[in-house]
Amino acid sequence: MSVLSGKKIVLGISGGIAAYKTATLVRLFIKAGAHVQVIMTPASKDFVTPLTLSTLSKNPVHSTFYNEDDENAQWNNHVELGLWADFMLIAPATANTLSKMANGNCDNLLIATYLSAKCLVYFAPAMDLDMYKHPSTLASFRALKQFGNIMIPAENGELASGLSGEGRMAEPENIVAFLEKDIESKLPLKGKKILITAGPTYEALDPVRYIGNHSTGKMGFDIAESAANNGAEVILISGPTHLSSKNSSVKIVRVTSSQEMYEACHSYYESVDVAVCAAAVADYKPKNIATQKIKKSEAAFTIELEKTKDILASLGQLKKNQYLIGFALETENEIENAIAKIQKKNLNLIVLNSLQDEGAGFGKETNKVTFISKDLSIEPMPLKSKEEVATDIINKIIAHYEIATKK
């Protein structure tokens, strides 16, 4: 899955021949899973039609502050567009538009949105080779870089003038690759390796029956997606579940029993920076597993159980520099039991679930958690979707490393 998936992009198009390439650029953004709003300068409509771009982006195209042909038309709010975007890309960025950006010459909707944007701004210059090297253009490049804008360098090739040289706008595929690489390099968990457990475990009684629980694995999978979207390399050890991940940064290790999950966790733990144990691992398993299907013969049937290995406690004992997060699902004395687990299992953070809370527990799309840290600070959270809870957990990890970096 592309790092652009889910990103909100404002694409600004100025009036150069390279504007024809923006149809392909929009298509690539949409294919990557991004949301795109297009702003065109009036001159750019001579090179590519708003209808084409609105069809591809699935959004109306903006080019003026309001529709002069409709006296009841609403104002196209440049401030709102600038605040909506995760990042803004101006491509092609002509010499004229670059000069306006550098000097704040706000005479069209595109420049007004650029000056209002709070997000990161990329620009892809496109012009003839002599214009590209002209001192005024070079001054615009320097000014925009000083503002914190990021330049996607022009490429060498045939130009509209018939000459060949530097000044050709980067090809759409290369622009997308540039953005993905740059965004990935800025992700807060880039370079971190995170182990996550998810789902139930099934403890066999015989070849066809098992003891299990109602965990779907959704919470753990959502945490894995959020971690990967923030740049982490993820090892997701999952018990039986129908869920999967399309993110190439998530490696899924499928297991069935608590013993298999124990072995998988220990095989990876030493190499990871963070471990998040969100799986609902069985506390007990049958002491003896029948080799043949148990027949229904007696009116009563007794199963002797024995404790499974405590994965979280064992990782706490082995912990060196890992940031270790556990989950606690409680039905009574929730805070006291969770605090005891933090101390007993040497955790940095525990995520407490209570089955007393409506909307929390197995098989739900929502969850209501309380974060309790090693220093025993308690942070109750409102009912949220599991995706939002996953984001909160990952933000705790990010905050941990931000604090560590400042020390």
Catalytic positions are 213
For 84-104, what is each residue's pLDDT tens digit?
A: 999 999 999 999 999 999 999
- Give the Cα separation of 215 and 198 in Å (integer): 9
pTM: 0.80
Same domain, 177 and 267: no
Same domain, 178 and 205: no
Q: Which of 186, 204, 224 is the last residue of a domain?
A: 186
Collect all residues with Cβ–Cβ distance below 8 Å to 66 and sequence separation of at least 6: 73, 74, 75, 76
Confidence bin at 300 (pLDDT 50/70/90):
confident
Same domain, 215 and 71: no
* 173-176-181-185 Cα dihedral, nearest 10 degrees: 180
Same domain, 112 and 249: no
Domain with 42, as residue range(s), is 8-186
Same domain, 348 and 243: yes
pLDDT of residue 69: 55
Under DSSP, is residue 8 helix (H, G, I), strand (E, B) or coil?
Answer: strand
How far from the centroid of its chain's Cα atoms is residue 23's Cα? 26
CA-angle at 126, arms to 102 and 107, nearest 5°: 40
For the record, the structure tokens of 42 come out as 């009036």
For 199-220, what is each residue's pLDDT tens digit?
A: 999 999 999 999 999 999 999 9
Task: Taking residues 295-321, report their average pLDDT.
Answer: 91
Task: Taking residues 359-376, report their average pLDDT.
Answer: 81
Statement: residue 227 has pLDDT above 70: yes
What is the rounded average pLDDT for all residues in the chain? 91
Query: Alpha-carbon Rg of the chain, whole angstroms?
Result: 28
pLDDT of residue 80: 84
CATH number of the domain that residue 251 is part of = 3.40.50.10300
264 part of a folded domain? yes
CATH number of the domain that residue 149 is part of = 3.40.50.1950
pLDDT of residue 298: 75
Q: Which of 163, 186, 209 is the last residue of a domain?
A: 186
Statement: residue 356 has pLDDT above 80: no
For 173-191, what is each residue's pLDDT tens digit?
A: 999 999 999 999 999 999 9
User: What Cα–Cα distance (Å) separates residue 163 from each residue in 159, 220, 328?
Assistant: 6, 56, 68
For 379-399, what is each residue's pLDDT tens digit?
A: 999 999 999 999 999 999 999
Statement: residue 70 has pLDDT above 80: no
